[in-house]
């Protein structure tokens, strides 16, 4: 009885998933390969990243609120909060101008979700943080915040 139980537990996952794989209800590519904007995430300059992510013509908005420290003593861990008061916000993205790859994060929201995010960034030097919000009607909005990074936490 115990040996049968062991065999079932060992091969149970394969036995349970094989009908789903055979019926194409569970395909590994659909589960593992989400759509992502490779060009925006691998861009080396802020202009290239913004162009690949949002195109051109992002309007500046005060409805995107960026809460970040004015001076970050440890650039390895800079915590920022971003929220959007724009109606029907579907995506929030965070850019750090002087990072080697400026696009730090892109988050999608469903219709009923509150567009709020808290992220930790790694910043090597003083830089401008940009938050880009896309709405359901395809419009793009942007907000800015400067974060000063001290060297070694000494304030210099």
Average pLDDT over residues 44-66: 91
CATH number of the domain at 53, please.
2.60.40.2470
Cα torsion 51, 70, 86, 130 to 10°: value is 0
Report pLDDT for 8: 53
Report pLDDT for 153: 44
Q: Is residue 154 part of a domain?
A: no
Residue 83 vs residue 19, higher pLDDT: 83
Maximum Cα–Cα distance across the chain: 70
Regarding whether 139 and 77 lie in a shared domain, the answer is yes
Regarding whether 84 and 25 lie in a shared domain, the answer is no
Average pLDDT over residues 1-7: 63
Q: How many structural domains comprise the chain?
A: 2
| Structure confidence at residue 5 as a pLDDT band (50, 70, 90) | low
Regarding whether 73 and 127 lie in a shared domain, the answer is yes
Dump pLDDT digits (tens) for 58-103: 899 999 999 999 999 888 899 999 999 999 999 999 999 999 999 9
Regarding whether 97 and 126 lie in a shared domain, the answer is yes
Residue 144 — left, alpha, or beta (φ > 0 → left; ψ -120 to 50 → alpha)?
A: beta
Regarding whether 41 and 29 lie in a shared domain, the answer is no
Q: Is residue 27 part of a domain?
A: yes
Of 11-25, 26-40, 103-117, the least confident: 11-25
Q: Taking the CB of residue 55, how many other CB atoms lie within 10 A of it?
A: 10
Contact between 80 and 121 (Cβ < 8 Å) = yes
Query: Can you give the residue range of the structural domain that contains 101?
Result: 37-149
Q: Is residue 156 part of a domain?
A: no
Regarding whether 136 and 101 lie in a shared domain, the answer is yes
23: which DSSP letter?
A: T
For residue 36, pLDDT beyond 80: no
Q: Is residue 105 part of a domain?
A: yes
Dump pLDDT digits (tens) for 97-150: 999 999 999 999 988 788 999 999 999 899 999 999 999 998 999 999 999 998
Regarding whether 136 and 66 lie in a shared domain, the answer is yes
């Amino acid at each position: 009885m115990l040996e049968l139980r062991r065999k079932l537990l060992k091969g149970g996952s394969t036995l349970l998933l094989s009908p789903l794989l055979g019926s194409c209800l569970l395909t590994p590519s659909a589960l593992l390969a989400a759509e992502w904007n490779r060009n925006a995430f691998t861009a080396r300059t802020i202009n290239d990243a913004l162009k690949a992510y949002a195109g051109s013509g992002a309007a500046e908005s005060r409805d995107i609120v960026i809460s970040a420290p004015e001076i970050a003593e440890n650039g390895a861990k800079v915590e920022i909060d971003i929220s959007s008061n724009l109606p029907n916000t579907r995506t929030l993205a965070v850019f750090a101008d002087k990072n080697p790859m400026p696009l730090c994060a892109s988050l999608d929201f469903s219709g009923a979700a509150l567009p709020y995010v808290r992220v930790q960034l790694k910043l090597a030097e003083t830089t401008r943080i940009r938050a880009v919000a896309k709405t359901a009607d395809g419009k793009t909005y942007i907000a800015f915040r400067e974060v000063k990074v001290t060297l070694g936490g000494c304030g210099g």
